[in-house]
Structure 1
Amino acid sequence: MDGLGLDGRVAVVTGGAGAIGAAVVADLAALGALVVVADVDLPNAGKVASGLPGARALAVDLAAPPSVEAFCEAVGPVDILVHNAGVSVVQPFIESDPASWDLMWQVNLRGPMLLTKLLLPGMLGRGWGRLVFVSSDGARAGSGGEGAYAATKAGLFGLAKTLAREAARAQVTSNVVCPGPTDTPMLRRVTQAEPELVGKIARGIPLRRLGTPADVAGLVAYLCTDRAAYITGQILSVSGGVTMH
């Protein structure tokens, strides 16, 4: 099928050592992209990159602007930027520690803003680019215990839509993917005190199962292809029908 290849395109995936990030890396590499696995956890990023043609791992700490700047100098020209990294502290908002708000703001919103500011000019100059922001269905609909997390992830909506307008004439698209309940190590950690909660969550999903990292990665990869060249400024859920718009 024409328009689905990414041969020679350089793609950065932040949080690439995580479950969803690794799935995105694998799909982009399968389409021919040269993927940079960007993560604060360099050893595991290296494991994800190993065995994938043209893939490499680079360290980046999104909470530290000097690290982001050094990463951009090291990575070179980038055609595709997938903002997948994120941190979450789950607790009722009135019990939350403002220090945790700062970490989530730095990693979930400020980091993507700075990384995009540094890498987008090259896309504009070359007349082609893809920005994909991985947010959360909790940011669209609210999620108990995730007030600060949802707030920082919701900030990506405004950023992505603004960039979609500002970059459109250079054929750079900007979209948001919002995973719903997804079976990842992060979810398992959050629910370990109440193991039966996973089953309860799955029963509340119209498709009657949790999402998988591959479910999310498939949409992210598609949005990076030429087949998706006319899709920009959109917020798309991968939630098994929990969120419908």
Structure 2
Amino acid sequence: MEGLRLDGRTAVVTGGAGAIGAAISRDLADLGAHVIVADRDLPGAEKIAAELVVELGGGTRMCLGRAAHLDLASPASIEEFAAAHQPDVVVHNAGVSVVEPFVAGDPAMWDLMWQVNLRGPMLLTKLVLPRMTERGWGRLVYISSDGARAGSGGEGAYAATKAGLFGLAKSLAREVARGGVTVNVVCPGPTDTPMLRRVSAEQPGLVDKLARAIPMRRLGEPADVAGLVAYLCTHRAAYITGQVLSVSGGVTMH
């Protein structure tokens, strides 16, 4: 099937050392993209980047991954990163979450979530978008959350910052459509990641409870999210923009 390759394209995946970020990085590399695995955890990013090896035939293999340090809470780090990289694709996957009753929340942590989950993606987009429109081709995908779309107890501040990505993406999609750049949002539902397992360790039975509430009766896997993200980055998705799409096993239906 034509139009599903990303050969010659450069993609950035923020939070690339995490479970979902790593799965996205692998799928993009499998489609032929050169992937910059960007993360505050540089050793973790280097590990994932080293795994992005594709077979070229005849026993030849090529690594399509590179690691880069990126701290989305630091404007200086974002500016330094953008000065060194001008990608065709950016998947804004990094995020910080705290699960707690809203009234018990620490405003200092709210500030961190705002910086990483919303301000950071806004600033990085501002710095890389002009080159995309100059080239007449680009893909921006923001990873939000079904908790931001439908609400989630204990995630009020997190959901607020992730919901901000909806308005950003929809507005950008209108601004840059004629420049050949698409902008979309992917919202994972409950997904089996180390972060969820850490939360569930403090709340026995949480994973089973979540799974029972999902029509498909299982948690999502990072690969479930990565498949949709990878497709949205291809030429075949060129007529899809300004959309908010859930990957939730049917929990959220629109």
TM-score norm. by structure 2 comes to 0.95
Alignment of 1:225 with 2:234, yes or no, is yes
Name the aligned partner's letter for residue 64 of structure 1: S
2:60 alignment counterpart: none
Alpha-carbon distance in 1 for matches of 2:69, 2:83: 12
> Any stretches of 5+ residues in structure 2 without a counterpart?
53-62
1:69 to 72, 79, 82: 79
3-state SS of the aligned residue for 2:166? helix
Alignment of 1:41 with 2:41, yes or no, is yes
Alpha-carbon distance in 2 for matches of 1:64, 1:193: 30
CA-to-aligned-CA distance 1:137-162 (integer Å, 9 cap, x gap): 00001101100000000000000001
Name the aligned partner's letter for residue 160 of structure 2: A
Name the aligned partner's letter for residue 21 of structure 2: G
3-state SS of the aligned residue for 1:209? coil
RMSD value, Cα: 0.6
Alpha-carbon distance in 2 for matches of 1:184, 1:120: 30
3-state SS of the aligned residue for 2:68? strand
CA-to-aligned-CA distance 1:92-148 (integer Å, 9 cap, x gap): 001101001000000000000000000000000000000000000000011011000
Alignment of 1:84 with 2:96, yes or no, is no
Alignment of 1:54 with 2:64, yes or no, is yes
Query: What displacement does 1:51 show?
Result: 3.4
Q: What aligned pairs does 1:35-184 form with structure 2 within 5 A after superposition?
A: 35-52=35-52, 53-75=63-85, 77-184=86-193
TM-score norm. by structure 1 comes to 0.99
Alpha-carbon distance in 2 for matches of 1:194, 1:130: 38
> Any stretches of 5+ residues in structure 1 without a counterpart?
none
Moved over 6 A (4+): none
3-state SS of the aligned residue for 2:183? strand
3-state SS of the aligned residue for 2:130? helix
3-state SS of the aligned residue for 1:191? helix
Residue identity over aligned pairs, in percent, reads 75
Query: What displacement does 1:74 show?
Result: 1.7
3-state SS of the aligned residue for 2:73? coil
